[in-house]
């Protein structure tokens, strides 16, 4: 088999609901002047993920399955990139859908712009009333501020992209992902790219659909992890982390202070600081109803947004005390120092 053009590294853990669609999408790529190598890095799935992947593996096929004993997605990315044979590497989320021209569009954007890393607009999808509102929130400025890769309508250079596509040589030269980050390793990597003088490009021409969390509790856990690890990234790259990161922890602090003062004194004006946030939630809920054409969103949207904001804020504050600047001031170069071979249980961070 000739050397592939692109290696797609699929991090997977308990993805029986999405892995088949993901692999079908990758096997159906067109517009490429070469073949695609697909490396599925499984982190010890406890469902049918491995069984389903094995159905795609036959002699001569481009799909291979590797085991990741370290479990985390960050190890899966590095492990797959080290094993890659291709010039280009695409880091793939198993619960994301990819258009048939995804890889070709990535190569075109990379070569046309000279960017070091390219990605598309994250288009969330969800099922049912709650899932639909969560998907709306994941792409709404009411929930995530000015994160351009979530809703930009035009191509532009950005600080971070959702999907990662770059030359293997670039990934290797940058030392790969920092494996001291269990979550937010992609943001940390992109900030290092920019520090090194590289650019990151996001374009709607690169089409991806992201399956959002199906429930408010699972969303809250996701946001807590994001906030906790974003604090670590903030200590490592204080000049690059955007100001929107501070909104949830400041909101939580305001809520806590107002609640304590009211509980201690019974003074109703102490709750006045929360009124602007209440108005914010009301406007957001109305926006969700108009966007989704679902009146029930009027009730669900405030709960979803509060879950996102407060869980993220709580994670950030826990990270504030858990992470020490002296422990995160130096990047350890995990990828360059790691041994080639099988690696991690790829929990999906996205």
Q: Are 132 and 297 within 8 A, CB to CB?
A: yes
The answer to the question of residue 12 being in a domain is yes
pLDDT value at 147 more than 80: no
Note the pLDDT of residue 273: 81
Tell me how far CA of residue 163 lies from CA of 9, 142, 147, in angstroms: 12, 22, 14
Note the pLDDT of residue 169: 94
- Is 273 found in the same domain as 160? no
Domain that holds residue 308: 243-324
pLDDT digits (tens, 9 = 90+) for 198-233: 999 999 888 888 889 999 999 999 999 999 999 999
The answer to the question of residue 222 being in a domain is no
The answer to the question of residue 31 being in a domain is yes
Residue of 307, 117, 344 lying closest to 227 (CA atoms): 307
Q: Report residue 160: phi and psi, to 5°.
A: -165, 150
Note the pLDDT of residue 265: 87
- Is 263 found in the same domain as 162? no
Q: CA 161, 37, 185, 350 torsion: positive or negative?
A: positive
pLDDT digits (tens, 9 = 90+) for 6-43: 999 999 999 999 999 999 999 999 999 999 999 999 99
Q: Are 84 and 167 within 8 A, CB to CB?
A: no
**279 contacts: CB under 8 Å, gap ≥ 6:** none
The answer to the question of residue 350 being in a domain is no
Task: Extract the tokens encoding 55.
Answer: 């159905």
Burial letters for 225-249: b for 16+ Cβ neighbours within 10 Å, e otherwise?
Answer: bbbbbbbbbbbbbeebbeeebeebb
- Is 253 found in the same domain as 201? no
pLDDT digits (tens, 9 = 90+) for 249-301: 999 999 999 989 988 888 888 888 889 999 999 999 999 999 999 999 999 99
- Domains identified in the chain, total number: 2
Question: What's 31's domain CATH number?
Answer: 3.90.550.10
Note the pLDDT of residue 164: 87
Structure confidence at residue 329 as a pLDDT band (50, 70, 90): low
- Is 167 found in the same domain as 279? no
Note the pLDDT of residue 326: 53
Q: What average pLDDT does the chain have?
A: 88
pLDDT value at 71 more than 90: no
Note the pLDDT of residue 345: 36
Structure confidence at residue 339 as a pLDDT band (50, 70, 90): very low
The answer to the question of residue 292 being in a domain is yes
- Is 298 found in the same domain as 206? no
Note the pLDDT of residue 162: 83
Note the pLDDT of residue 327: 57
Domain stops at, among 170, 194, 213 = 213
- Is 90 found in the same domain as 198? yes
The answer to the question of residue 156 being in a domain is yes
Note the pLDDT of residue 119: 92
Annotate 36-68 with DSSP letters as a single string: EEEEEEE---SSSHHHHHHTT--TT-SEEEEE-
């Amino acid at each position: 088999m000739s050397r592939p053009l692109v290696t797609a590294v699929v991090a997977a853990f308990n993805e029986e609901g999405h892995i088949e669609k993901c692999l079908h999408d990758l096997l159906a790529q067109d517009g490429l002047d070469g073949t695609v190598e697909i490396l599925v890095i499984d982190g010890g799935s406890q469902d049918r993920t491995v069984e389903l992947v094995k159905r795609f593996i036959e002699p001569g096929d481009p799909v291979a399955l590797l085991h990741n004993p370290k479990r985390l997605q960050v190890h899966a990315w590095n492990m797959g990139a080290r094993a890659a044979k291709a010039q280009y590497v695409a880091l793939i989320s198993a619960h994301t859908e990819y258009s048939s021209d995804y890889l070709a569009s990535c190569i075109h954007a990379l070569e046309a712009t000279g960017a070091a890393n390219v990605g598309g607009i994250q288009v969330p999808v969800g099922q049912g009333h709650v899932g639909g509102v969560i998907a709306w929130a994941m792409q709404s400025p009411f929930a995530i501020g000015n994160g351009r890769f979530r809703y930009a309508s035009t191509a532009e250079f950005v600080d971070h992209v959702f999907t990662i596509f770059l030359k293997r040589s670039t990934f290797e030269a940058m030392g790969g992902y920092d494996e001291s980050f269990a979550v937010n390793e992609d943001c940390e990597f992109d900030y290092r790219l920019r520090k090194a003088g590289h650019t990151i490009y996001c374009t709607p021409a690169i089409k991806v659909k992201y399956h959002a969390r199906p429930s408010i509790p699972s969303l809250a856990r996701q946001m807590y992890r994001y906030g906790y690890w974003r604090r670590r990234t903030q200590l490592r790259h204080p000049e690059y982390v955007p100001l929107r990161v501070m909104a949830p922890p400041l909101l939580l602090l305001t809520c806590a202070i107002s609640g304590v003062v009211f509980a201690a004194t019974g003074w109703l004006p102490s709750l006045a600081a929360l009124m602007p946030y209440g108005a914010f939630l009301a406007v957001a809920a109305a926006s969700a109803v108009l966007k989704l054409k679902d009146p029930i969103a009027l009730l669900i949207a405030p709960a979803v947004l509060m879950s996102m904001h407060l869980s993220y804020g709580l994670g950030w504050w826990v990270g504030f005390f858990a992470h020490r600047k002296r422990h995160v001031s130096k990047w350890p170069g995990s990828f360059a120092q790691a041994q080639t071979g099988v690696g991690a249980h790829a929990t999906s961070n996205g």
